[in-house]
Chains A and B, each alone.
Chain A
Amino acid sequence: MRGGRASRRWTLLIAAFCALPAAAQVAGQWRDSAHIWRAVCGHCHGAGVARPLFGTPLPPQAIIAITRNGLNGMPAFVTAQLSDHELERLAQWLREQPAGAQERD
């Protein structure tokens, strides 16, 4: 990038906003599984568009494989968006949620 003053302005702005990661939503930036659920999965699986997943009996490996590669209308979620570790934790978290609980408001 050229233009000293312009790039200084950018540096300042960026520095200001780095302190406030605005609910960033890619691998390594998710707060926890509940955050992933609220921002992504719950829009379908907690809203009657796709099957409910709280308390699912699906084995974690199945949840992981389907999330990674997609299935039918469900999109695939790449590692850059959800790391292997985040996905494993999410699969476990889904199994631990009380079945039939209010999934998304």
Chain B
Amino acid sequence: MTQFVALPPGLSAAEFERALGELRGLLGTDRVVAVADRLRPYQKMMIPAPDEAHVPSGVVMAESVTEVQGILAICNRYRIPLWPTSTGRNFGYGTSSPATRGQLILDLRRMNRILEVDAELGTALVEPGVTYQQLHDYLSERDIPLWLDFPGPGPIVSPLGNTLERGGGNTPYGDHFAHACGMEVVLADGRVLRTGMGSIPNTTSWQVFKYGYGPYLDGIFTQSNFGVVTKLGLWLMPAPPGHRTVLVQFDAEAQLPAAVDTMRRLQLQRVITNVGVMATAVMALSTFKTRAELYDGPGPVPQPVIDAAARDSGIATWNMTFTLYGTPAQIAPNLAIVTEAFEAVGGRVNPDFHDGSQVNELSLASFGILNWVGGGGLAWFAPVSPARGSDAARQAKLARRILGAHGFDYLAAPTLNGRDLHHLIALVYNRNDADEKQRANRCFEQLVHEFAQHGYGLYRVGIDYMDKLAGIYGSVNRDVNRAIKQALDPNGILAPGKSGIHP
């Protein structure tokens, strides 16, 4: 009998063996994995969670909707919890690992067809395993003038997986869920729902009109465990005739509120149409320097050391970037407007900056932040704030104090998007050092707790904090989610614990 690394809760090894036998009958032996050395790559995490709490019992790989239905039928029969992933690269949130021990990972990366691209309407329909790189190559091989908006790890991650997490990127299409249109979802009982206009037989409009008729359902399949999403419609941005990326730098911490207020105004007026990313000095430094090169003492790198290193590299205390898109005739007056507005609040404006993520150039440059301390540890702390200077300053002060108290640097890139600001903070730490991992865990805990006390919640969180964050969002919210869960997945086999939703 196989020596399993973990068993689905409530199943004996013999029962699990029998279930795997049925799964092998459906998928063949290669696409059912339960041996330790083949499972290890699925277990590598960045977050400071205890590894043993998130060990999967195995992995199954589907290549079609019919196979997903077959897997669900077997899992329902044996009551095996199934954790769906697209490309399984949810770095800094749990990567591929399930929220609870013993779940079977459903790896959908082999369902990777680009089913449709409409060059005129700027839409695409993709399966879970399609990566941004694959879609990018597809468009450029065919000279289709559409741009992609992708997250930091774009080349190796999935538009579908990222959108289900309501992730973001840096062009005007940066809010990915806002630019998704139409889903195909396999429900726990095997029925296939196509949302919006997709429910109409012979539909013509699935990827162009989101809402269809009746309740708009797509939202309930994001950050949830109510179904397995097997297709997603995307809206793609027409390649603009031109663009100009602008860097605005602020030397004093005290300038942060004015910078944020100015940015919000320009975004609400639609002068700036993409997100405004504001990197702290350490965040900017971390992309090409290591912490050890600057400082080898304990605790966070002292401010004077950071300031000196930043000055040497042309980096300021706050470094804001955004892009103006359009024809030269459109860009020129907008550049004049933003220059005047930011200079009026003491910003230094450089209108010839380059940031590939704002202009459709895929890269993994953001992985540089993992070199800052080394050791592969990263937890994203992503509180939402009103895009108001006073809130941004309050959050920055709070984050800096808590991170510093636990010995960590303030690597942040608050991202402004009109009315809201996602205050993205990378808690990077050495995951090979057990003490430091524990410290990172405690730090994260305190960040969540204190931000909640000030009325700030996270937009997304790692697998080990899902229950706690759901608790902060309150009992009525949880009850409603549980009621939907019970209606759609009565055996509770889909991703128990995802977003704090349990059967």
Contacts and interface: CB of A to CB of B under 8 A. Distances in A.
Interface of B is mostly: mixed
B141 A23 contact: yes
B141 A47 contact: no
Contacts of B137: 22-23, 39
A58 interface: no
B115 A22 contact: no
A1 interface: yes
Nearest to A40: B156
A17 B109 contact: no
A43 interface: yes
B217 interface: no
Contact of A25 (B134, B192, B203): B134
Interface in A9-28: 9-10, 13-14, 17, 22-27
B115 A1 contact: no
B107 A80 contact: yes
Given A25-B112, A73-B374, A6 B203 contact: yes
Interface string B191-221: 0101000000111000000000000000000
Given A23-B137, A43-B363, A1 B201 contact: no
A79 B88 CA distance: 13
Nearest to A29: B112
A99 interface: no
Interface of A is mostly: loop
B375 A72 contact: yes
Nearest to A43: B364
B104 interface: no
B115 A47 contact: no
Interface stretch (B4-12, B365-373, B459-467): B365-373
Contact of B192 (A1, A48, A71): A1
B41 interface: yes
Contact of A3 (B31, B116, B134, B201): B201
A93 interface: no
Contacts, number: 115
A78 B155 contact: no
A34 interface: no
A62 B234 CA distance: 40
Nearest to A23: B137
B370 A79 contact: no
Contact of A43 (B59, B61, B155, B203): B155
A27 B129 CA distance: 12
Contact of A26 (B33, B109, B203): B109
Contacts of B202: 3, 5-6, 9
A69 interface: yes
A81 interface: yes
A75 interface: yes
B472 interface: no
Given A40-B155, A78-B107, A73 B371 contact: yes
B376 A71 contact: yes
A98 interface: no
A49 B364 contact: yes
B18 interface: no
B61 A80 contact: yes
A95 interface: no
Task: Give 5 closest A-B pairs by Cβ, nearest first.
Answer: A73-B370, A76-B41, A22-B138, A43-B364, A72-B376
Given A4-B201, A14-B115, A48-B288, 7 more contacts: A1-B65, A1-B192, A6-B202, A40-B133, A71-B376, A76-B42, A78-B88
Interface of B: 31, 33, 38, 40-42, 44, 59, 61, 65, 88-89, 91, 95, 107, 109-110, 112-116, 129, 131, 133-135, 137-138, 141, 155-156, 192, 194, 201-203, 288, 362-365, 367-368, 370-371, 374-376, 378, 431-432
17 contacts: A5-B201, A14-B113, A17-B115, A22-B114, A22-B135, A22-B137, A23-B138, A24-B112, A27-B110, A39-B137, A44-B367, A72-B376, A73-B367, A78-B42, A79-B38, A80-B110, A81-B109
